[in-house]
Structure 1
Amino acid sequence: MAVIVELSLPPESFPLGTMLTAGTDLHIEFERIVPVGADVVPIFWAWDGDLDAFEERVGDDTNVQQLVAIDQVEDRRLYLLNWDIPAGAFLEGLTTTEGIIRNAHGYGDEDWEFELLFPSQDQLTKFHNVSRENEIEYTLGKMHSLSEAGASELANIVTDKQREAIVLAFQRGYFMTPRKVTLSELATELDITQQSLSNRIRNGIEAIVEHMLFGASEH
């Protein structure tokens, strides 16, 4: 059965994060990262800092093949990064265990916070062993199984804010064709940015779909 875990990781154990935030006050938030073979091509948001200087610094890193700014919403800029994973890095454990980063956030020199999804408990155990072999230290937080969470426990799958956003979008006709309301109008009603609302709806729906697919696969 699929397993979701939360963990925190010091910057020195996450070379990619260290490269992105070193010596800055930037906030970095990854979109979902799905390793494919030996390749990990992350997409992430960056904000609260000199993004032009950030692009120049990261682009000069020897591990970086390409950094592309693909979108901007207000003061947040969305990037795609092609890079080489250093041997023994944290992401190596994910590529060998088919793990998925559902969410990750880092700020300056503080610890990185992750929410990870593994196909099974065995893969999570393997990830733990690979991390220990590579001397990757992390602090494990909450852990639960998707297939163990029934429909009555959906609150454990989505956050209160995600549920609020999805319910409001449904009630106002956002999912209808044609749509009865715009994302901007919904964001104004909730008094949040359009990007924040988009993230809540997308992440909440993805979590629900994962719950349904992984749970059903075990029956």
Structure 2
Amino acid sequence: MVAILEFTVNAEEFLLGGTLEQASGVELIELERVIPLGDQSIPFLWVIADDFETFERSVRSQSAVASIDQFGVIDRHGLYRIEWAIDPPNQLIDGLVEANATLLEAHHGERWLFRIRFPAHELLTQFYTYCTDHGIQIHVERVVPLTQRPRRGPVFDLSPEQREALVLAIDRGYFETPREVTLDDLAADLEISQQALSDRIRRGVQQVLVDSLSALEDE
């Protein structure tokens, strides 16, 4: 049975988090995906910043980093790949790779939030055991088993932050024509940046569409 695990973890508990915790000039970092490559798990990430040179310089100066490469910038979003200079590169990420997990969402705040999909509940258990064996302290927020969808309609697998953003946007008339509130106003209500809110709404809407279309295909 497929299951989704949502957990938080302190940055110092894994190499990528600790490395990016020391980076400067950054507004938001989101882990895009992880690619196993030889003996390493290479992380790709989106960085939202006004000064990418400062970010790159601060990351490149750290001894654990062999290289950081930028693949382009789209509207203040820079896509990066980090390669490590040490082995093993990242025990937490390696645990996810070994459990054949799919990264749905990962971003930093006071702590890192991960939403991970496992093809079987046994692999979720394997990952949790892996963290315990390696002394990685994760805080499980929730586990969502993906069973057959109820007849009443689809169940949207939104993170609490995405749900909060979408509910507020709907309540305040953001999706009305014309719009009754601006993105800046909503961001101020949630005390986050306009770009962070835009990302939450975009990812939330995408998840709702994916779940809705999947439910229609199952009928």
The two structures have a TM-score, normalised by structure 2, of: 0.68
Cα contact 2:5–2:143 (8 A) shared by 1: yes
Decide whether aligned partners of structure 1 residues 210 and 60 sit closer, same or farther in structure 2, where only a CA change above 3 A counts.
farther
Deviation of 1:141 after TM superposition, in Å, equals 0.7
Deviations 1:29-69 (A, max 9, x none): 3154254465333121233x754222112123342323216
Identify if the C-alpha distance between structure 1 residues 170 and 112 changes in structure 2 by more than 3 Å, giving closer, same or farther: closer
What residue number does 1:191 align with? 182
Which consecutive residues of structure 1, in runs of 5 or more, have no partner in the other structure? 173-185
Aligned residues between the structures:
196
Q: How does 1:63-212 map to 2 (within 5 A)?
A: 63-68=65-70, 70-73=72-75, 76-84=76-84, 86-87=87-88, 89-107=91-109, 110-150=110-150, 152=152, 154-158=154-158, 159=163, 161-162=165-166, 191-192=182-183, 196-197=197-198, 200-206=201-207, 209=210
Aligned partner of 1:39 in structure 2 is 41
- Unaligned 5+ residue runs, structure 2? 184-193
Describe the shift of the 1:154–1:69 C-alpha distance in structure 2 as closer, same or farther (beyond 3 A).
Answer: same
The secondary structure found in structure 2 opposite 1:135 is coil
Instruction: Give distance in 1, aligned partners of 2:25 and 2:46.
Output: 16
Q: 1:162 to 1:29 in 2, by over 3 A?
A: farther
Worse-superposed segment, 33-42 or 189-198:
189-198
**What value does the CA root-mean-square deviation take over the aligned residues?**
3.8
The answer as to 2:3 corresponding to 1:6 is: no
Name the CA shift for 1:6/1:198 in 2 (closer, same or farther; >3 Å): closer
> Where has structure 1 moved over 6 Å in runs of 4 or more?
168-172, 210-214
Is this contact kept in 2: 1:7–1:140, CA < 8 A?
yes
After the TM superposition, which of the residue ranges 16-25 and 201-210 deviates more from structure 2?
Answer: 201-210
Higher strand share: 2
Change (3 A) 1:149 1:39: same
CA drift at 1:156: 3.9
Q: Does the 8 Å CA contact 2:47/2:78 hold for their aligned counterparts?
A: yes
* Conserved? CA contact 1:97–1:124, under 8 Å: yes
Letter in 2 for 1:6: E
Q: Distance in 2 between matches of 1:198 and 1:23?
A: 21
Quick one: structure 1 residues 195 and 25, their matched pair in 2 at CA, closer, same or farther if it must change by over 3 Å? closer
CA distance in 2 between counterparts of 1:145 and 1:208 reads: 20
- How far did residue 27 of structure 1 move? 3.7
Which residue in 2 is equivalent to 1:178?
A: none
- Report the more deviating stretch, 144-153 or 156-165: 156-165
SS at match of 1:144: strand
Counterpart of 1:39 in 2: which secondary structure? strand
Identity %: 17
